[in-house]
Structure 1
Amino acid sequence: MPGTDAAYLRYVALGDSQTEGLGDGDDITGVRGFADRLAEHLARHEPSLQYANLAVRGRLAGQIHAEQLTPALALRPDLATVVAGVNDLLRPRFDADEVAAHLEAMFAALTAQGAHVATITIPDPARISPLARPLVPRVTALNERIREAARRHGVTVAETALHPVAGDVRLWSSDRLHAGPLGHQRIAAALAHALRLPGSDDTWTHPLPPAPTITGRLLVAGELRWAAGFLGPWLVRRLTGRSSGDGRTAKRPALLPVRTDDSPSPKADAH
């Protein structure tokens, strides 16, 4: 991989809604997300950087493999991020080995072409929502396989799963499925730190200031509102075979220059 003295010139992001940037902006003004934020950080140190984002919301790991790998290889990136698997975790018939096989195939193809690849591990979902506790064994199994595949192919892993701050609800959007702006900022900072980029450090691991504790009826009421407002509609889409990504294409399919004016660094914010 390029060290801290070398620059990445072509960055391509593959993935689903997190990489697309849901939770950080909206579909009217545009979504930003950790990949955009990481590209901005890279461009501050290499103004000639070009960046493409092939991610599409709702995509499973197999769909990302089938739809995004070939276009990504055609762009010949020297840096790629591959983040996938959360949508698979939410399906009734989740198979950690199958999901990991798709991830490893993408790792292998990109690194074989000379790209340096980075990915992340998935935080404990029960810290974000108690109703997600049944998913914990699935997350643990997938994270183990991500690490194993990454070791085999020299892929950099930003270990967001290992730091308690990743489960702070203030880093997540109201749907609890996507990071909010501060969460996307922290993910970008985690990747920058794992890649040893200039201007990065470990402040992304630092906890936020203490928040008031919510217990009893307020906690239960919050869970019920979330279930009615987000979990219910998501289940309806699954039962009817629909996806939030139906009819959508990548927001940035070509390599383009990156604007950095008035963009914050992906160093973790203390707020």
Structure 2
Amino acid sequence: MGVVFRGEGFTEKRFNRIFQELSFKGIGLRLPRIKEIVEVEQIENYKKPLLMFLLGDDSILHIEIMNNEIQPDFHSMLIYDMSIVLKYGMQVRTVILNYGSAQNGKKGKCFGSVRYEVQVVDLFEIDGEKVYEELSEKISSGSLFDERDRLNLSFLPFMKHSISFSEALRKVMFLIETIKDEEERLAYMTVITEIASRFIGNNVVDVVEEYLMDTEVGIRIRDEGKKEGMRESIMIILLEKFNLLPDDIYNAIAEQKNENTLMKWLQRVTSICSIDELKKMIFNIE
């Protein structure tokens, strides 16, 4: 892609498992297929984008979600889109997925002489309960998902339901638990809970945590998230000290999965003064 927005961590790997090579034709967006998710760095005082994908033509797809109560932050959206255009010279396409009152078409805002306009797609026009039944039948019969199914399951809580969003979210998580493949279950659970939590914030966190508390998938997500956090902390401290890390050290930290080892490294890393000392610690050299 010519630019690295952020390394692929636990969450990014799960998003890529679901979205790589996916098309958005199923919801009316005729765009190149997705290469991978990208996580841009935080710009101070501006809300981070909900989702950003690198597309097959090396442009960026920026996705936000809105409903009648939660409206998009156009100022932050514009700042991030323009920062990518100016810094990397990449085209940015911005789409809002709406699950409130119908608004299909375009939506925008003027900032002085600048008109910022994005495309709006109404997810609320899609019958979520019908989609739920179709996906449930496929999962029960062991049929493979096609790309429309993958897209539908990822955004199912945001479609039209006769129940509240929280109830629909909980129902979708129960459906995911019936998927037989463990990695597939983990990927969909991560994707849906991340999207819902990023969009709604604390209002949905309780629903997610309540459901995940004692499930096999929930325990693994928490465990992997904790280890990823330790790996990132170690990297931040070391890069502050040394600016650049040798590839063998970087890869060893990134691939370390033992929580006890990561904890020992995190406790010791602040006192490391040289790359030689670091190698001795990482590779257990006496």
Normalised by the length of structure 2, the TM-score is: 0.27
Give the structure with the higher percent helix.
2
Q: Rg: which structure is higher? A: 2
Task: Point out which structure has higher relative CO (alpha carbons under 8 A, 6+ apart).
Answer: 1
